[in-house]
Amino acid sequence: LSEFENSPAFLQKVITAQLGFDYPEDGKVNSTAVASRLDEIRRFDFAFVNESERPSFTQADIDGMKERMKANWLTVENTLPDNRLEGKADGNETELALMCLEYEYFNSKYELSQDKATNFFEDEQVISEITNAIQQFSFDSATESTFPPCTRKEDQQPTMAQAQTLVKDVLPKSLFTSTSKPMAVPGGFIVKGNSKADDGDALIASIDQQLSRSSLREKVTVCYVSDFTAFVTENADEIDIDSIGTVLFVGGPDIAREPKKVMLSAASAIGIGTCWYLSLYPFLLNPNLAKRVDEQLALVDAGMPADLSWLTDLSFPLFATFVSIQVLHELGHRVVAVFNDIKPTFPTFVPSIITGVTSIVTSFKEPPKNLQALFDFSIAGPALG
């Protein structure tokens, strides 16, 4: 039902025509009736067909179908008109033949005729709806490739009413003049327009200031980005990269990645463990040290006390050095985060059997204010350690 209701109008017209329903002029289709009919056909339940319209088959028809089944469908695996038919027939060859005959009959009955198809696709309104649906699909795809999945949290997406409030009440008081209505995309809306600010930072600061005074406070997030929809227009091949405009992306209040504290904590614990393993491994490659370890392990097997503290004394400086490098790396990120008002999450040690720790991963509790802040944050870690 939801799939039908969310499908484009032109597709609803095609489906209702296929099922024999009349498409109302006001476009208000009885979605429940259509969805029920589709489900009945899916289950091969044609009880809705009047007895006078139901097909009747002679014994010759049934025998002919059996021959066709033996000659074609049943000689090759899974080549019945619909593989569910064999299961419903429960091994009865005559019943299967009857069901195949009914399947063919109703399949042809509910197939969209050439005349109807021609009428549909000559209708200017239908053509317009198809074009709009294709364009919307292109916009949705462009949005999904531009913004990460965390920006598309279903329970936090803004409503059209909120987007319209932003355009009517907030943006006019900011440094942005909208030139389009809010366009729905995955995760929220995009608004095209012109900025009067000196740069993106000044524009977002102005919008955030107005948002804090409006009913949309802590309900939406506004991002200022290059117009990614420019690449899905008809003249995309002729676009000059330097002349691409900008748009506002209006998302929910929280577009940061969801924290997975338990999983990340477990990964960090394993990462510390593999760091320790890495600090031991070089010493175990030394034959003399490896022999001493074997001697101590033999004492353990014999039930006697063993002493491996000397191995810890040797490996701990290497372990401390390796962890210190990672801490310095993270400290570089944190220092820049303070200066740029970035709120990073707690770092996660990513374990590695080969190198001890692959890296340290840090996410954000909220997006950085601009690309420069993101770059500075990113480069500060490797620069320090």
Q: Considering the chain, what is the average pLDDT of its residues?
A: 79
Q: Which residue has the higher pLDDT, 385 or 115?
A: 385
pLDDT number for residue 161 = 92
The residue written with tokens 């063993």 in the block is 306
In this model, does residue 75 exceed pLDDT 50? no
* pLDDT > 80? residue 124: no
Enumerate residues 6+ apart whose C-beta is below 8 A from 335: 380
Tell me 21's DSSP state.
P
* Closest to 369 measured CA to CA, from 202, 193, 250: 202
The pLDDT score that the predictor gives to residue 87 is 67
Query: Given pLDDT bands bounded at 50, 70 and 90, which one contains residue 235?
Result: low
Q: How much is the pLDDT for 110?
A: 60
What are the CA-CA distances from residue 103 to residues 14, 57, 108, 117, 269 (Å)? 21, 12, 8, 22, 60
The answer on pLDDT for 326 being more than 50 is yes
Would the pLDDT of 49 be above 80? Answer: no
- If one compares 315 and 121, the residue with the highest pLDDT of the two is 315
| Those residues with Cβ within 8 angstroms of residue 27's Cβ, 6 or more apart along the chain or in another chain | 9
Examine the pLDDT at 186 and tell me if it is beyond 60. yes
Residues 103-113 pLDDT 10s: 777 766 665 55
Answer for the pair 21, 38: CB distance below 8 angstroms, yes or no: no
Of residues 224, 244, 223, the one with CA closest to residue 232: 244
Residue range 339-383, pLDDT digits in tens: 888 888 888 888 877 766 667 788 888 878 888 888 898 888 888
Which residues 6+ apart lie within 8 Å of 356 measured at CB? Answer: 271, 274, 275, 277, 278, 279, 322
- Report the distance separating Cα 113 and Cα 115, nearest Å: 5
Beta strands in 252-378 (DSSP E): 348-352, 356-361
Mean local confidence (pLDDT), 174-181: 87
Does residue 120 surpass a pLDDT of 60? Answer: no
pLDDT band for position 77 (cuts 50, 70, 90):
very low
Q: Distance between CA atoms of 241 and 91, rounded to whole angstroms? A: 64
Can you read off the two tokens belonging to residue 204?
């977002």
Please say if the pLDDT value at position 174 is more than 80: yes
Residue 115 predicted with pLDDT over 70: no
Q: What's the pLDDT tens digit per position in 273-316?
A: 888 888 888 888 888 888 888 888 888 888 888 888 888 888 88
Bridge partner list, 189: 184, 250
CB contact burial 66-81 (16+ within 10 A = b; e otherwise): beebeeebeeeeeebe
Give exposure, 173-200, as e/b (b: 16+ Cβ within 10 Å): ebbbebeeebbbbbbbbbbbbebebeeb
Does residue 76 register a pLDDT over 60? no
How far the first Cα of the chain sits from its last, in Å, is 56
Q: Choose the weakest-confidence range: 15-29, 152-166, 264-278.
A: 15-29
Beta bridge partners of 188: 185
Please return the burial class of 48, using the count of CB atoms within 10 Å of its CB with bins 0-12, 13-18 and 19+: exposed
pLDDT of residue 164: 92
Report the pLDDT averaged over residues 122-149.
72
pTM tops 0.75: no
Question: What pLDDT is attached to residue 236?
Answer: 53
Long-range contacts of 30-37 (CB under 8 A, 24+ apart): 31/1, 31/4, 31/5, 32/1, 34/4, 35/1, 35/4
Q: Is the pLDDT of residue 217 over 70?
A: yes
- The rounded distance, in Å, linking the Cα atoms of 48 and 34 is 12
Band the pLDDT of 83: cuts 50, 70, 90.
low
Given a cut of 50, is residue 78 above it in pLDDT? no
DSSP class per residue in 80-106: SSSTHHHHHHTT-HHHHHHHHHHHHHH
d(CA 365, CA 201) in angstroms, rounded, equals: 19
Cβ neighbours of residue 280 under 8 Å, at least 6 residues apart? Answer: 311, 315
pLDDT over 80 at 44, yes or no:
no
